[in-house]
Amino acid sequence: MKKNLLIASALLGALSAISQNSTKIKPVRIVSASQKIAGTFINDPGVISGTSAKQSVNLVQNPESYEPQQSAVAMPPSTINWKMLCGSMNIVGMLLSNSRPLQYNDDVNAVSFVHRKSATYQPSPAIPATAQSGVIVAEVSTNWGATFDSTCIWSNATNWGRYPQGGIYNPVGNTNIANAYIVGSGPTVGGAAFSGNFYASKQLNTFNNVASAAPNAQQFLSFSLPSYPPNQGPHAWSRQGFSSTDDGVVRSLALIENDPTGLATIRGVSIVKGVFNAGAFTWTTDSIVPSTLIKSDGSKVLQPLTQMAWNESGTLGYVVVMGALPSATNNNKGGYQPIIYKTTNSGISWSLLPGIDFNSPAMAPLLDHIASINSNTNITIPFFNEFDLAVDAYGMLHIGAIFKTGASNHVDSLNYFSQYSISVNPGETYDWAHTPGNRPYLYDFIGDGTSAWMAKTVDSLSSEAASGTTGGDGFNDNPWAATATSEPVKVASVESRLQLGRTPNGQFITFTFSESDTNFTNGGRKYNSLPNIKARCMGVSFPSYPVATTEINVSKVAPGTGTNNFNVANRATMHYMSPTTGAAAVFGNVVDIYTPITVTNSNPMDPSTNNITWYQAGKLSYTLSGPITNLDGTAQSSAANSNVYPNPASNNATLAIDLKDNSNVDVTVMNMIGQIVKTNKVPGQAGENKINIDLSGLSSGIYMVDVKVGSASSTKKLIVQ
């Protein structure tokens, strides 16, 4: 839905009164999370079988103000353009939204997408037909997706790749894509059961269907060895949070389990670290094993729902796993609430941070939009069902999340949530009541552990995921075809797939999610049966954190914002957004960000057929709800909001800068040891300016461009080719 954030004060007052005087809608039943989200963690030992794995500061913006109006704000012109990227012979590899197969690397200005091979792709040398679906391929583009080259990175006759993710490793100081490496990771299947994880790398000077034969370029790490080498331990499901940072380190997030072949319970998480060494990577692990509430069967209240995020330099990182700490009480005693860890020394040590305190009165406005538990009307427990992470320019963690109603505070029932009936669809139940103030809301929780967490409402959603289980809620509204099994299932869950991406400097955070316009769904049902991707942008400005005044429909393209592709519009399933977007160009309150996004589907929507991935990296153009200010509350300067493009550049680059008044603009280009190699002073005019930067005579490499306006200055990184 398009929602205007700029609502008159009188209307806000009326809504506030409604919120304070209304009663919460009562749920009609409770459901175990294992019945609703098992499809997200489906077991995929071979072909699709239909057998699911086991599951077992306080600034708060009230979302009530988002409801009544459709947006009338004129949207700036985006340049959305979807094109076919690749195929995959099995959709199951893309079920998990917390995987990161799509990555943009700003050091070499390249986009990569790691996936299971298509039905027609043939690796060399040949491997058995049963192993074909486990071949992992990477697509790489150095021109924002105008063209892609593909290369095979994993091909193994015994251990078949699943749920792949990955990105580009770039040696420190390198600007040539041929010297960079594509790196991937994921679980493996050995015949009928999961066997371990694959870690693969390949230099990007060769694009072919042959996985690298260099020593240790393809590594299989079993999770069932009798002993392990130093600095490496057993871990499973290495399919979350892949990152590649400027310190030359790649990382993946895996699970620590008693039974690594399934997903019933976990004990902790493993940060898997890859360090480049003699043409390949040395992989080590660090473990985080949280103390949690313990259920009567002795298992932890800890879920296989995890994520990891880092700053660009790789010094500051966060890990979040859903569960319940031993100290959790009242509103905080939820089985699906964030347990947050932080490192400030590149992962040498990790510290547990204070969590989001839902017992705080400041969080009460958020709890107004879900119901209390059955046994105590004074306790309201958020049940986080989707989340993603990003680290901003100031090292603050952003936990973008959607939560529903936790049903119980009993330690053995913390995985239960409440459901509602709605008048438009009698006899059906939903995870939300889908009325004003009682629908899914996208929140951003912001903090770094030094003070109370802030909460910002980013958007509301109009739909929720339909069940993939025969007889489940919305099964017939799930757009994917059912399996031909004795009890048909739909393995492709169409949830909101919340994704966060940050500009390389961390100054802007993009949020994407999937929802359906229920004006067009069957009978007005609130299921995500006609999925489209929506995007909003947040400026990293304390304390307001301004959000785009309108959401952008990225897949069903509005007139003037790009070109529609009817293979994607209303069919935007399995989407990913790169956790790093392009740099932002800022003109007043208008922010332009080139944003890599993929969608994977088939026609018809059948998981057993070869699926197609569609790609777009066009410009998404937002108008923010307020000015961009720094962490200390001062307005950002024109210099800080300037943009240098293209990047990389050859003989010339352009500085785009928006000036509040006539001012001189000083541009200084320096090499990596600080020597000044080019200077220019230009008399700028109030408004938008485009200033030429002469790069002639400069050798290839990384340079710093210092932009100074008055007493304010900002430095940008520029690659010269």
pLDDT at 645: 84
In a domain, 69, yes or no: no
SS (H, E, C) 350-374: CEECCCCCCCCHHHHHHHCCCCCEC
Residue that terminates a domain, selected from 623, 658, 678 = 623
Do 363 and 449 share a domain, yes or no?
A: yes
How is the chain split among helix, strand and coil, in percent rounded to 5?
Answer: 10, 40, 50
Q: Which among 500, 507, 511 is positioned nearest to 536, based on CA atoms? A: 511
> Which position has the token pair 């990296």?
617
Beta bridge partner(s), residue 102:
113
Contact 683, 648 (CB under 8 A): no
Percent of the chain past pLDDT 90, that is, above it, reads: 67
Tokens representing 102 are 């799509």
Tokens of 61: 């913006």
Dist. CA 241–CA 238, nearest whole Å = 9
Answer yes or no: do 613 and 706 share one domain: no
| Helix H or strand E encompassing 17 | helix 9-21
Is residue 564 situated within a structural domain? yes
The per-residue pLDDT for 714 is 77
- What is the number of structural domains in the chain? 2
Report the range out of 63-72, 672-681, 695-704 with the highest average pLDDT.
695-704
Q: Are residues 124 and 229 in the same domain?
A: yes
| Sheet bearing 317-323, strands edge to edge | 302-310, 317-323, 337-343, 351-352
Query: Does a structural domain hold residue 558?
Result: yes
Instruction: Decide if 87 contacts 120 (C-beta within 8 A).
Output: yes
Structure confidence at residue 66 (pLDDT): 36
**CATH code of the domain in which 668 resides:** 2.60.40.3080
Taking the C-alpha atoms of residue 100 and residue 16, their distance in angstroms, rounded to an integer, is 39
- Name the pLDDT band for 584 (thresholds 50, 70, 90): confident
Reading the block at residue 77, the tokens are: 């012109």
* Tokens coding 27: 């749920």
Domain membership flag for residue 396 = yes
Shared-domain flag, residues 651 and 571: no
Q: Note whether 599 and 657 are same-domain residues.
A: no
Q: What local confidence, expressed as pLDDT, does residue 364 receive?
A: 96
| Same domain? 537 vs 467 | yes
Residue 44, pLDDT score: 56
What was the pLDDT predicted at 22?
A: 46
Q: Is residue 70 included in any domain, yes or no?
A: no
Distance CA 350, CA 557 (A): 43
- Statement to judge: residues 40 and 176 lie in one domain: yes
Rounded CA separation 607/468 (Å): 12
Mean pLDDT along residues 595-616: 93
* CB of 640 closer than 8 Å to CB of 656: no
Token digits of residue 580: 């790093």
pLDDT digits (tens, 9 = 90+) for 45-75: 444 333 332 222 334 444 433 333 333 345 6
The answer on 378 and 508 residing in a single domain is: yes
Residues constituting the chain: 721
Q: Tens digit of pLDDT for each residue in 391-437?
A: 999 999 999 999 999 999 999 999 999 999 998 888 889 999 999 99
Tell me the mean pLDDT in the region 1-24.
36
Do 279 and 354 share a structural domain?
yes
Residues 418 and 469 both lie in one domain: yes
Average pLDDT of span 25-48? 65
Whether residues 654 and 563 fall in one domain? no
Count CB atoms within 10 A of the CB of residue 664.
Answer: 12
Separation between Cα atoms, residue 495 and residue 559, nearest integer Å: 26
Show the domain range for 663: 646-720
How far apart are the C-alpha atoms of 643 and 586, rounded to whole Å? Answer: 7
Tell whether 576 and 681 lie within a shared domain: no
Q: Look at residues 591, 608, 623 and tell me which one is the last residue of a structural domain.
A: 623
* Amino acid (one-letter) located at 221: L
Residue 88 has pLDDT above 50, yes or no: yes
Q: Average pLDDT of the chain?
A: 87
Task: Please compute, for residue 640, the number of CA atoms within 13 A of its CA located in the half-sphere on the CB side.
Answer: 18
Helix (H, G, I), strand (E, B) or coil at 54: coil
- Check whether 684 has a pLDDT greater than 70: yes
* pLDDT score for 6: 31
Residue 634 in any domain: the answer is no
Contact between 211 and 152 under an 8 Å Cβ cutoff? The reply is yes
Residue 417 inside a domain? The answer is: yes
Query: Using CA of residue 607, residue 612, residue 617, residue 620, what is the dihedral sign?
Result: negative
* Range 354-365 average pLDDT: 97
| pTM (two decimals) | 0.85
d(CA 267, CA 299): 8
2 in a structural domain: no
Tell me, what's the pLDDT at 75? 62
